[in-house]
Amino acid sequence: MPKVVILIISLLFAECTIGQDGTIYPLDTPAEPNAIPLGTGGVADQSASETWFRQWGDPMARNITSATLTPFFPKPGKANGTAIIVAPGGGFRWLSMGNEGWEVAQALAEQGITAFVLKYRLHPTPASLDDFTNWMKNLSFAPAPKNADSTKTVTTARPLQLDLSNQLADAEAAYAMIVKGRQNGE
């Protein structure tokens, strides 16, 4: 009998881990009814449209060309007057919207903090999910070797060398919108 119980529990945990292996799965674009467009413009040389996928069980977005700000408000009577902008990570090529965006904002709202999830513009990635998956497998985030010749061109993608002007403009616009709303008593 104990072996059967252990087997059943093992199967239950195994079922929970399916889709948690790093495989990229397509995901329909979720509704974002509370998202406020920031109107900061588009992305140069972006031919692919916004696409969502699931990896490690979390919803992620890529090829973002229109920045938005989504508010998460505390329950009435619980707000403590603090506001924060939550900017999900992803190497400026995708955004981990679930565990680094919405879940963080919801946890902050439960603590009385008004949180705003910033879905900022991203650098382009391949249009098809298969091409994106292959691109991800070949992407190198490793720093240049210490003895590398700095005069040679490095061809591997390094997020720290990307032009971040769109992302900074989106963050500044989000901050300005929050400050203006606060000044107007919103």
- pLDDT tens column, 26-54: 999 999 999 999 999 999 988 899 999 99
Q: What is the pTM of this model?
A: 0.78
Domain boundaries, the chain: 17-128
Residue 135: per-residue pLDDT: 85
- pLDDT tens column, 133-145: 888 888 755 444 5
Q: Which helix (H) or strand (E) holds 95?
A: strand 94-96
Q: How far apart are CA 100 and CA 6, in angstroms?
A: 34
Tell how far CA 181 is from the center of its chain.
24
- Average pLDDT over every residue of 19-25: 77
- Do 159 and 142 form a contact (C-beta atoms < 8 A)? no
